[in-house]
Amino acid sequence: MEAMSTSVPIGTALTAGTAGTAGTAGTAGTAGAVGYAAVAAQILVVVAGAPLLTGWMRQVRARLEGRAGAGVLQPWRDTRKLLRKESITPVGTGPAFRAAPALLVATTVVAAALVPLLSTDTPVSSHADLIVVVALIALGTFALALAGLDTGTAFGGMGASREMTIAALVEPTILLSVFALSIPAGTTNIPAIVSGAAHEPARLASPAGLLAAAALAVAVIAETGRIPVDNPSTHLELTMIHEAMTLEYAGPDLALVELGAQMRLTLLLGLLSSLFAPWAIATSGSWAALAIALVAFAAKVCVLAAVLAAAEVLWAKVRLFRVPELLAGSFLLALLAVAASYFLNGAGS
Amino acid sequence: MNATLVLTAPAAVPLLVAAAYAAAGTGRRRLTGSAGLVSALVILACGALLAVSAAASAPGAPIRAYAGLLRGDALTAWMLLVVGAVALIACGATPAYLAGERAAGRATDRTVWRYHVLVHAFLAAMCLAVVTGNLGVLWVAVEATTIVTAFLVGHRRTRTSVEAAWKYVVICSAGIALAFLGTVLIYYAARQAGIAEAWALDWPTLVAHADRLDPAVTRLGITLIVLGFGTKAGLVPLHAWLPDAHSQAPAPVSALMSGVLLSVAFAAILRYRVIADAALGTGFTRTLLAGIALLTLALAAGLLLAQRDYKRMLAYSSMEHMSLTALAAAIGTPLALTAALLHIAGHGLAKSVAFCASGRVLHLTGTARIGRVRGLLARTPVSAGMLGCAVVALLGFPPFSLFASELALARAGFLAGGPLAWATAVALLLVLTALAALAARTSRMLLGPTPVPARIPVPARMPAPPGASEDSEGSEASEGSEGSALWPLAVGLAACTALGIWLGPLAGVLHAAAQTIGGH
Amino acid sequence: MSAIPVALATATGLGGAGALAALVVPHRARVPLVGALTAGVGAAGAAVGVTALTGTHWSAEFPNVLPLGGTYLAVDALAGWFMTIAGAVVTAVAVYGVGYAAGRPARRPAPECRAPGPGVPGPGVRGLGSRGAQAVLPLFALSLLLVPVAASVSTFLALWEAMALGSLLLVLADHRERPAVRRAGVWYAVMTHLGLVLLLTGFALFAADAGGETFAALRAGAHTLSPGVRGLVFVLVALAFTSKAGAVPLHTWLPRAYPEAPDPVSALMSATMVNLGVYGLVRTGFDLLGGGTAWWWLGVLALGGLSAVYGVLQAAMASDLKRLVAYSSSENMGLVLIGVGASGLFAAHGDRPQAALALAAALLHVVNHSAFKALLFCAAGSVVRATGLRDLDRLGGLRARMPWTAGLFALGALGAVALPPGNGFVSEWLLLQSLIHGLRVPGVAVAVVLPLSVALVALSAGIAAAAFVKALGVGFFARPRDERAAAAREAPPLMLVGAGLLAVGVVALAVAPGLFADGLGRAVSAATGPTGGGAPRGGGELGVRLADVSARMSPLWVVAALTAATLLAAGLPRLLARRRRRRVHARLWDCGGGAPTPRMAYTATSFAEPLQRVFDDVLAPEQDVDITPVRESAYLVDRVRFQRSVPDRIEHRLYEPVLRGLDRAGRAARRLANGSVHLYLGYGFAGLVVLLLALTTGW
Amino acid sequence: MTGGGAYPQLLDLACGAFLLAAVVVLWRRELTAMVRLFAFQGVALAAVAVLLGAHERRWDLVGVGLGVGALRAGVLPYVIRRTPTATVTATGSVTATATVTATGSVTATATGSVTATPTVTAAGSDASGGDDGRHRAREVGEAREVGEAREVHKAREVQEDREARPLVNVAASLLTAALLTLLAYAVARPLTELNPTPATRALPVGLAVVLIGFFVLVTRRRAPAQLVGFLLLDNGITAIAFLATSGVPLIVELGVSFDVLLAVLVLQTLTTRVRAAFGTTDIDDLRELHD
């Protein structure tokens, strides 16, 4: 069953840290210029595409709700406007407050570089560990929560508190999903998982794959702060979570925070699509494959986003203290996924 | 080396010192307290000489005097060393204690005179019990300790001390009478086994011919002896005198009683155990001693739990340690017996330090109630530190020797296997309970901020203004005058530590002593 | 070969000299001198450890030292691993301790603040700087280093108890400042002795059946034990060791002792002493008992998982800074135990390479935990020393007044939350890898336990993030909530240097864990034996080979990428912005109600409230609402008092009944000594009659 | 006396008297009677020893027997019987008491009733006899504080030589004694079997006296009564020593006797001290030391 059977001493796994620097090619080998281009494209498509995706979702929602909508480009316009404004530092905030937006964006960018959104054959694919990606995303949450507390206002603390609670509860689901996904692949390396799934589509249709997909979908919703966990468009203190943390941001900082949130959404939807719909992702270093992958990526993510937007129209936000129930459900799904993957896919193989 | 002299001196010299005190009277020519050190030093010296000879010669060749009436083997040497060391601590702490009693108006020239006479007579009786080879004389000596100490326990003539003395004498006399009955029965068995009258109470003879003793009679005799000497050793069922007497006796006497009287009595049991094991096999004494040890331990632990008086607390801790020694004797392997002897020494040293220090605490605070003593370490860092160290030693922490002996005891217990392993496990749990109680109570006394000077003000110390720095240096300096009173305690703790790390030349005599009573 | 004994002798000599110096040297010179000597002890110990990690073995015996037992010493790579950690931490903390105990605190709290009360600790300066505490400190450091060297039951237990005693005395150093210290000390003494009883029972049973008490004899005789005895030995020993490691259910000493100990002592205890619990477990379970059956390790795993989640939940609830950090030790040791348990489980199923990987993860987490935990306690200690406060609800705003300390704490917190680029992430990643890939080990138990373990690790990591966001965000960020916090001043340089040394270690572990791989490999193979037996590439330098695991993680790469991306993200908007302006300061959003005061800020308690509600059933908080109506009408409320506490539930349920029972027993036992001579003599009479009856009935 | 047939019967007679004395001690409550019985038992003991010595023609044993008899029938009863007040004067601590004694108890009671109410209560309750010991102790404690204690003590002397309220009633004690004797017979069987002679056949008697003595020691409230119990115990042991082995070696016997004498003296002195401190020799009042 194992896709890879190379024997790696743990010492090597650790020493890779000293030897491997950003530029060195990993084990995947053949990545040339196309590989670098793929990484750049991944980053670019996430950074540039994120506002568009948000715009697209808003547009879908607007249409479903019978409104005209502001257009797909509106988030871009907002971002541009905010970036041009002056930087404002609220009194009494410190370095954490100022550094958090950049860190949020940075974690997402690094994650975007790692996740095989377009290609599994990139210079960094050997570093693309699923746990690292999850942790990077959590790091962004961590930074933002600290920033929320740094303001010293009730809103900031409230948002941070709620956000960290949800983040803590999401964590088991995500890692169990990772576990479920890594069982057939024998690794937590995302490119390996993705290419394995692409070569063997039966994995995805298995109960394990479906359960893991469902679990991860809930986790993604929670991580990105979408309905029913959080409502990104509310500023009502009783309900807001993410927005409460970022209430004090203005100008370019706010632009970064919003961009970061949009990028996370894009990235996570992309990750979902890569994991569960790995078709058309470039597995070799050809320009054509990369182009196809780009188009396919856009299509997959747009479909997912549309589904999400549609769901948001139909659902209501649940109460904060009902969220754990939702997450417990997703945890159960993930656990079932692991069990299914172990018992159905040949125990002890 | 003159065997007679070495064997006679430990009992005779303290007796002479007692006589000298008695003769000197209470007048101007009275002897100072430090003259008491002579007894202790002589006992120590004789113990050392005996140890040298015991280590040099084979275990079977002890020295004798007066036709075997006095007899010195390695066990004698070890016990003499313990008695001497504890006596040194107690006698060293005596002058300061008596000065404190005088200052508190509880002692007069006459009581001091009587105190000295009786203490040295007490030492003489204990030494006699240790050096004699005749079991009858052993009994006489142990009974003599009761008589001599009766007035030491009741020296204060208050209601409580008279009560303690009465209980002490009545219970101990009854118990020791049982031991005499046991002795008589052993004598009977020996005579019937064909041992001549002159040798029928001679320990080595009995050991040599133990297999000829009638088992049924010996069993009855040994039971009575364990009950009887167990009384003096603080073992159930006739243990109840112990906390009362220890709490009412003067601190140095408590130290002597707890530190060595108990173990001298227990050494008698150890000697009889050899005979019993040879006559009856190991099962009988093993069951008897283990049962008594566990009951004593449970009782001590239970009564420590809700203890309110710190001298009684120390007394129950003595019971706890004696029961451990008894358990070691029940196990009876060479390792266990060595552990028992080391435990006797370690407990003697630590407990005497604890009692002497508690005497200082009593002088300082004027109460023996645990609940009324607070912040001792802040008030008198050195004295309280000594008490704390002694209690830590009693709790069985390294580097004190009690740790080594308890460790060896546990190992030996589990090595023995079967019911003894269970007994050891139960004992360890009970020791834990006792530790919890002791630790909680001692810490309550020692730790915490300096209390507001209550009834008895600490001399030369003004209550510090709030917030002002109150460095421990200051209080340490104010205690400088205590230094002379504290050296015995420091010596005791140092000895206990040294025994816990390295036995040095004592290793030989300790192992030889264990071999002496190891029998098989 | 001769380096180890020389260094050991040096450490011992320095330790003794330190104790002696503390007793004789006057106050002014005492603290620096003792600190220097203690640092020397640590350095020498670390030297021994490093030498051992290069593959050198050494052993010696001194049969006459320690009566009736003898002293047997041996150093191998496993011992070396723990000695290195302990030595390094001791060195750094000794430097920190000099700054801590020397001189006066930056600001002495007002007298009324010194009034005894749990939340208002005084400065620990008098305690740790005193003669007694200074004398114990080097000896305690020495015992920490020597415990792994012990090679016989007696030696081990003696050093183990010496360490316990040393830590106990140091915990009590501040007893004059706070009454809670005494209670903590008693708890600690009892719990540690309970551990000793368990250890003693276990080891003595083991030694009795194995026919010798040196570790060599135990190792040789382990296979002669019956499975039942082996299991019993393991259970007893494991309970004791996990107690020392701060794992539930015998953890109660930990959250009491750590907060009350002087801060350098907390650092030493949490960063080195708890490790020795893990050391003991690994040494006994793997080395001496030679593995064992699956249920042993399932038990360890369960304890680990429980500790991890329970510990971190309590940490998240704590509003006392040091208590929070202390409970985090419980959590991290739980993670380590998960690793150890998984390793044993794999080994029991015969998969040695997998076992080695899990053990490597556990050991790596041990060192990571030591580094960041010592750093956290040092930083927390600086805060406590500067403000006299431990209550997070009163702290705040320290990043402006104590920037270095805040930075150091942040670094430690980053390690503790197991997020990249912190050092904790490296080992947790390895741990997760070992668990995830452990599923190929056959067995239904494995299949059930591993996913749950992964979930528990994840949950604990998530809650740890919340806990440390709270500690950092509430304690150091925002604005001061108390005047003492507002008047804090930066810690003295020596304290910063000491903590800085630890920070260097944290960073090194975070970016270049590969530096430690060689030693780790040797330590692991010292524990599990030559692991390469079944693996294709056995006999290599590491001795550990893993098939099928192709996951990789390069911390350095992650750090570099993150740094670059952050710089880009921070810089690009500036370039993009058309008009470059200086930052403008503005008031906080106040809902139009005037400037928000520090009292409006979210407190630690309120921060933890959602989590507490989620885990209501586990934590069982106690609430007390007290409404006082106005006298005239029952409907008009005059005063509302609301009180909530989150007690340690295990303590509530497990310990209090025992304590109550003991108390009752004690009271009942008093009746046995009611003063009546008749009763006393009656005991004797009854005893005599019973024994005589027993004799006549043929016993 | 030396006749082969008469010897066992005489021995049995002496032993019977020996046991009888112990049982009667259980029965009688008056201290003087107890002491008298104890003396009688001493004589019986001496008779046993002398009989044994004569039988075995060991004149040293006869001498020892006579000495033991002198001690137990003469010296010890004398010591016990000596009025406690005299002892008090002798030790010189409570001289005041002695002077009051001369005036007699009636005077003392009168003084008490005039001076302070607590004294009256205490004295009154004493006269009625047999109220709760603890209660009395408390009263006495108060009286002492008033400074009138010694008078009260004197008033109580009327009651001092009786066991006012037995801890175990007479019937029960006698029954117990019977059971103890049975136990003694059972326990002593191996002793007799080891060397069946007329002497050893009487061993159970000695053992029974030991047990009865212990029982007396346990159950008697008055200090002198306890002392008698202890001496009974000791007599029993000595009897066993004679019967089983014709006495222990002389040096031991001397030591033992000396010790016993000293013990009795100590207990006697302590009795007076108890009386001085507590105003009674009721041991039940000695309950201040407890946990």
pLDDT tens readout for residues A312-338: 999 888 888 888 999 999 999 999 998
Q: Is the Cβ pair D290, C669 closer than 8 Å?
A: no
ipTM: 0.87
Q: Is the Cβ pair B510, C67 closer than 8 Å?
A: yes
Closest C-alpha among B36, B26, B173 to residue B116: B36
Report the gap between the CA of A313 and the closest CA in chain C (Å): 27
Q: What is the helix, strand, coil percentage profile of chain B, to 5?
A: 80, 0, 20
Q: Which two tokens stand for residue C551?
A: 């996951």
- B469 occurs within a structural domain: no
Which long-range contacts (C-beta less than 8 Å, at least 24 apart) are formed by B50-55?
B50/B6, B50/B7, B50/B74, B50/B76, B50/B77, B50/B80, B51/B77, B51/B78, B51/B81, B51/B505, B51/B506, B51/B508, B51/B509, B53/B1, B53/B6, B53/B77, B54/B509, B54/B512, B54/B513, B55/B505, B55/B508, B55/B509, B55/B512
Residues ≥6 apart with Cβ < 8 Å to C362 = C278, C282, C335, C336, C337, C338, C339, C340, C343, C431
Q: Is the Cβ pair D284, C696 closer than 8 Å?
A: no
Question: How sure is the predictor about A266, in pLDDT bands with cuts at 50, 70 and 90?
Answer: very high
Show residues of chain D in contact with C678, CB under 8 Å. 167, 218-219, 221, 283-284
Facing residue for B162 by CB, picked from D214, D230, D270: D270
Residue A116 structural domain = 29-344
Please answer whether residues C502 and C374 qualify as being in contact, where contact means their C-beta atoms are separated by less than 8 angstroms: yes
Pairing of strands A88-90, C584-586: parallel
Report the gap between the CA of B390 and the closest CA in chain C (Å): 13
Q: Which two tokens stand for residue C676?
A: 């009546």
Show residues of chain C in contact with A250, CB under 8 Å. 586
Show residues of chain C in contact with B473, CB under 8 Å. 27
Residue window 110-169, chain B: list those with CB within 8 Å of chain C: 166-167
- pLDDT score at B154: 86
Report the gap between the CA of D264 and the closest CA in chain C (Å): 18
- pLDDT score at B480: 44
Q: With 0-12 CB in 10 A as exposed, 13-18 as middle and 19+ as buried, what is B477? A: exposed
- pLDDT score at B182: 94
Facing residue for C551 by CB, picked from A176, A189, A331: A189
- A4 occurs within a structural domain: no
- A8 occurs within a structural domain: no
Report the gap between the CA of C285 and the closest CA in chain A (Å): 22
- pLDDT score at B59: 54
Facing residue for C685 by CB, picked from D214, D289, D291: D214
- B474 occurs within a structural domain: no
- pLDDT score at C43: 96
A20-24, A168-172, D88-92: least confident range: A20-24
Facing residue for D287 by CB, picked from C675, C684, C696: C675
Q: Is the Cβ pair B160, D259 closer than 8 Å?
A: no
Residues ≥6 apart with Cβ < 8 Å to A335 = A176, C451, C452, C455
- pLDDT score at C654: 87
Question: How sure is the predictor about D109, in pLDDT bands with cuts at 50, 70 and 90?
Answer: very low
Domain total in chain B: 1
Residue C165 forms contact with B (CB below 8 Å): yes
How many Å apart are CA B139 and CA B150, to the nearest integer? 17
User: Does the pLDDT of residue D158 top 70, yes or no?
Assistant: no
pTM assigned to the model: 0.90
- A253 occurs within a structural domain: yes
Show residues of chain C in contact with A176, CB under 8 Å. 451, 454-455, 458
Compute CA distances B439 → A156, B45, B390, whole Å. Answer: 48, 36, 12
Helix (H, G, I), strand (E, B) or coil at C67: coil
Please answer whether residues C435 and C454 qualify as being in contact, where contact means their C-beta atoms are separated by less than 8 angstroms: yes
Residue C65 forms contact with B (CB below 8 Å): yes
Q: With 0-12 CB in 10 A as exposed, 13-18 as middle and 19+ as buried, what is C640? A: exposed
- pLDDT score at B60: 55
Please answer whether residues C469 and A145 qualify as being in contact, where contact means their C-beta atoms are separated by less than 8 angstroms: yes
List all chains that touch chain B, counting a touch as 3 or more CB pairs closer than 8 Å.
C, D
Residue C27 forms contact with B (CB below 8 Å): yes
Report the gap between the CA of C229 and the closest CA in chain A (Å): 31
How many Å apart are CA B239 and CA B295, to the nearest integer? 11
Question: How sure is the predictor about D4, in pLDDT bands with cuts at 50, 70 and 90?
Answer: low
Single-letter amino acid, residue B299: L
Question: How sure is the predictor about A116, in pLDDT bands with cuts at 50, 70 and 90?
Answer: very high
Please answer whether residues B285 and B312 qualify as being in contact, where contact means their C-beta atoms are separated by less than 8 angstroms: no
Q: What is the largest CA-CA distance in chain C?
A: 110
How many Å apart are CA A141 and CA A119, to the nearest integer? 27
Show residues of chain D in contact with C683, CB under 8 Å. none
Q: Is the Cβ pair C696, D187 closer than 8 Å?
A: yes
Report the gap between the CA of D159 and the closest CA in chain C (Å): 20
Show residues of chain C in contact with D232, CB under 8 Å. none
CB burial readout B432-467, b (16+ within 10 A) else e: bbbbbbbbbbbbbbbbbbbeeeeeeebeeeeeeeee
Task: Report the range out of B290-304, C413-427, C570-584, D215-229 with the highest average pLDDT.
Answer: B290-304
Q: Is the Cβ pair B174, D277 closer than 8 Å?
A: no
- pLDDT score at D110: 33
Closest C-alpha among A258, A322, A218 to residue A100: A258
- pLDDT score at C280: 95
How many Å apart are CA A244 and CA A238, to the nearest integer? 10
Q: Which residue of C has its CA nearest to D186?
A: C696
- pLDDT score at C473: 92
Residue B26 structural domain = 3-453+480-518
How many Å apart are CA C180 and CA C175, to the nearest integer? 8
Q: Note the helical H segments in B59-196.
A: 74-103, 109-131, 135-153, 159-192
Contact: chain B with chain A (3+ CB pairs below 8 Å): no
The residue extents of the domains of chain C are 293-531+601-614, 649-663+673-696
Helix (H, G, I), strand (E, B) or coil at C204: helix
Q: Is the Cβ pair C511, A87 closer than 8 Å?
A: no
Mean pLDDT (whole number) for A222-237: 84
Show residues of chain D in contact with B180, CB under 8 Å. 237, 256
Q: How many other C-beta atoms lie within 10 A of the C-beta of residue A314?
A: 8
Q: With 0-12 CB in 10 A as exposed, 13-18 as middle and 19+ as buried, what is C507? A: middle
Show residues of chain C in contact with D189, CB under 8 Å. 696
Please answer whether residues C233 and C289 qualify as being in contact, where contact means their C-beta atoms are separated by less than 8 angstroms: yes
Residues ≥6 apart with Cβ < 8 Å to C56 = C1, C3, C4, C75
Query: How many residue pairs from chains B and C have C-beta atoms closer than 8 A?
Result: 217
Report the gap between the CA of B406 and the closest CA in chain C (Å): 10
Closest C-alpha among C187, C424, C33 to residue B436: C187
The residue extents of the domains of chain D are 6-81+166-277, 95-160
Could you report the per-residue pLDDT of A231-255, keeping only the tens digit for each? Answer: 888 878 777 888 888 888 988 899 9
Could you report the per-residue pLDDT of D134-147, keeping only the tens digit for each? Answer: 444 444 444 444 44
Question: How sure is the predictor about A24, in pLDDT bands with cuts at 50, 70 and 90?
Answer: very low
How many Å apart are CA C656 and CA C551, to the nearest integer? 47
Closest C-alpha among C59, C253, C140 to residue B398: C140
Mean pLDDT (whole number) for B443-453: 81
- pLDDT score at D98: 33
Please answer whether residues A283 and A67 qualify as being in contact, where contact means their C-beta atoms are separated by less than 8 angstroms: no
% of chain B surpassing 70 pLDDT: 91
Q: Which helix (H) or strand (E) holds B53?
A: helix B37-56
Facing residue for B163 by CB, picked from D233, D248, D288: D288
Facing residue for C674 by CB, picked from D180, D186, D287: D287
Instruction: Write out the DSSP string of C551-584.
Output: ----HHHHHHHHHHHHHHHHHHHHHH-SS----E
- pLDDT score at B58: 60
Mean pLDDT (whole number) for B276-294: 93
Mean pLDDT by 10 residues, chain C (699 residues): 87 94 86 93 95 91 90 93 95 93 52 37 58 92 94 94 94 87 91 93 92 91 90 94 91 90 92 94 92 90 94 92 93 95 91 86 93 95 90 89 94 92 88 84 85 93 94 90 88 93 93 82 82 34 40 80 91 72 78 79 88 87 85 83 83 88 92 90 94 86
Closest C-alpha among C207, C177, C180 to residue C72: C207
- pLDDT score at D165: 67
Helix (H, G, I), strand (E, B) or coil at B519: coil
Mean pLDDT (whole number) for B413-419: 91
Closest C-alpha among C409, C156, C376, C187 to residue C263: C376
Compute CA distances C311 → C194, C374, C459, C657, whole Å. Answer: 21, 18, 12, 22
List all chains that touch chain A, counting a touch as 3 or more CB pairs closer than 8 Å.
C
Please answer whether residues B221 and B189 qualify as being in contact, where contact means their C-beta atoms are separated by less than 8 angstroms: yes
Report the gap between the CA of D41 and the closest CA in chain B (Å): 18
Facing residue for C465 by CB, picked from A106, A138, A148: A138
Show residues of chain D in contact with C680, CB under 8 Å. none
**What distance lies between CA B223 and its chain's CA centroid?**
23
- pLDDT score at D37: 92
Show residues of chain B in contact with C679, CB under 8 Å. 240
The tally of CA atoms less than 13 A away on the side-chain side of residue C412 is 31
Q: Which two tokens stand for residue B304?
A: 């420590």
B19-28, B174-183, C675-684: least confident range: B19-28
Mean pLDDT (whole number) for B271-284: 92
- pLDDT score at B433: 93
Show residues of chain C in contact with B432, CB under 8 Å. 190, 193-194, 197
